[in-house]
Amino acid sequence: MNISEALKILFFRTGTTQKYAAEKLGYKSSAHISNVLSRGNLTLETLARLCQVLDYTIILRPNHIRTTSEEIVIDMIKKRGCS
């Protein structure tokens, strides 16, 4: 799962609208949030600010620790095609 997919799930789970998030973050319209989610190349600062609005926390953990069903794991590794 990538960052955009994870954030869309969090918006759904929390019932938060992009319009509300945009207002809380001081953006003029929800189009900014929509653009960030569609591009998927947001900064860590933007991710942290969005998570704050959604009442979630970014947690870093070692890879060998198993996740629970409540966690969302963001896969930052780009998959390469086999040659």
Residue type at 74 in one-letter notation: I
In a domain, 80, yes or no: no
In a domain, 82, yes or no: no
So what's the pLDDT on residue 75? Answer: 62
Residues of the chain with pLDDT under 50: 77-83
Compute the distance between CA of residue 29 and CA of residue 13 in angstroms, rounded to an integer. 22
The CATH number assigned to the domain holding 32 equals: 1.10.260.40
Place of tokens 């009442």: 55
What are the tens digits of pLDDT across the range 32-44? 999 989 988 888 8
In a domain, 83, yes or no: no
* Residues 17/30, Cβ–Cβ less than 8 Å: yes
Compute the distance between CA of residue 48 and CA of residue 46 in angstroms, rounded to an integer. 5
So what's the pLDDT on residue 76? Answer: 53
In a domain, 43, yes or no: yes
* Residues 3/47, Cβ–Cβ less than 8 Å: yes
- Report the domain count for the chain: 1
Question: Which pTM value belongs to this model?
Answer: 0.76
Domain extent, residue 51, equals 1-75
Compute the distance between CA of residue 42 and CA of residue 26 in angstroms, rounded to an integer. 17
